[in-house]
Amino acid sequence: MLMQATKLEVMAINPCVLHSGQVFSASGIAHLQVWRVVAASFVLVLVSGCGTSLQSPSAAPASSQGSLQQQSTSDEPLPAPESMPPGEPAARFQLTDQQGDAFDSASLAGKVWMGSVFFSNCPGPCFRENQAITDILREIDDPDFIAVSLTCDPENDTPEVLSHYAERFEADPARWKFLTGDMDVIKQVGTKTFLLPVEIGVHSERGAVFDRQGRLRGSYHLLQEDRVKRLKKLIREVLAEEEAAESPAESPGEAL
């Protein structure tokens, strides 16, 4: 009788009846409730994880330093500030462009340039990122302004692949360099020069602006319209500066 009463009391509070009509005992319900809590917690973790990856860049707050993809949990630096005073000139680096020619960053002396990171098979925002760069180059039609885009998938992004990819944006090779090469060098340029996290197939969606002396002046998100406006404003301001260009091969520290 006591066992029957216990079953009835539990069923009155939260009846758990199988489709066959079998009734759980009090201890069985207790175990079931525990597993329900565990399952609910697991689902919550999954939903939370999915939520961060589904966040749209345009939905980020105005003070955001970029999407979660741009942040690093390792010892790599977080994205550079949107605007910063001139520091030391960037270290010299050498890679290969979309035409298969050797590229030396010393060729950027006296130019204002913007660095970015992408890869051609990117299933996400890379196309929009590079479309934004296309629009910026068209609007700021100045031979002294150059775009430098590094692939973070150099094994697949050969010069030939990058050449075909560049054609999608009608990129002028004189003003827009798509670079590939050794991943260690690419990672060094991305993290130490652009101040953006870079791993194989993982990249930031920012454009990092450098002045005529190769000094980083700030970076802005390329997928947020208000940030792109500020980016273009910074580029124009740096282009207007009348400072004598200094070769990055002479002034910086070690070459990469």
The highest-confidence range among 80-84, 196-200, 230-234, by mean pLDDT, is 230-234
> What mean pLDDT is reported for the chain?
75
For the stretch 233-242, pLDDT in tens is 999 999 999 7
Least confident range of 66-70, 93-97, 145-149, 231-235: 66-70
**Under CATH, to which class is 69-240 assigned?**
alpha beta
Of the chain, the percentage scoring pLDDT greater than 90 comes to 57
Residue 11: pLDDT over 50: no
Q: Average the pLDDT over 15-38 and give the result.
A: 40
Q: At what angle do helices 126-139 and 225-240 cross, to 10 degrees?
A: 40
Instruction: Report the distance separating Cα 115 and Cα 190, nearest Å.
Output: 8
Residue 87 confidence class, pLDDT cut points 50, 70, 90:
confident
Residue 69: pLDDT over 60: no
